[in-house]
Amino acid sequence: MTLDAGATVRVKDDWPEARGPVHIRTPHYIRGRTGTIVRHLGDFPNPEDLAFARPAAASPLYHVAFPMTGVWNGQGAPDELLIELYGHWLDPV
């Protein structure tokens, strides 16, 4: 399922690194936060599998915008933070 620009999403509050060796591209500070899809960047092999030479299914990659007040309590220069996140880390809100 591809999410449309403008969709509100929540990043999964998951910590797979606590369960064993993994390669994670999702920053710790954004897990559990709510953001908005800016654009779909395409579908790419999941780097979390590629890092361990496992077969990697394609996963959609998105630019997701987060308001700074929801990330660092408004402490920071920009008004929003833009992060590239894979779709398997996002839940529609």
Cα→Cα distances 75→36, 67, 69, 78, 81, Å: 20, 11, 7, 9, 12
Backbone φ, ψ for residue 90 (5° rounding): -115, 140
* pLDDT tens readout for residues 7-62: 999 999 998 888 777 888 899 889 999 999 999 999 999 998 898 899 999 999 99
Q: Which fold has domain 8-92?
A: SH3 type barrels. (2.30.30)
CA atoms within 13 A on the CB side of 19: 6
> No. of H helices and E strands in the chain?
2, 5
pLDDT at residue 4 is higher than 80: yes
Total-model pTM: 0.86
Domain boundaries, the chain: 8-92
* pLDDT tens readout for residues 65-87: 998 876 766 555 567 889 999 99
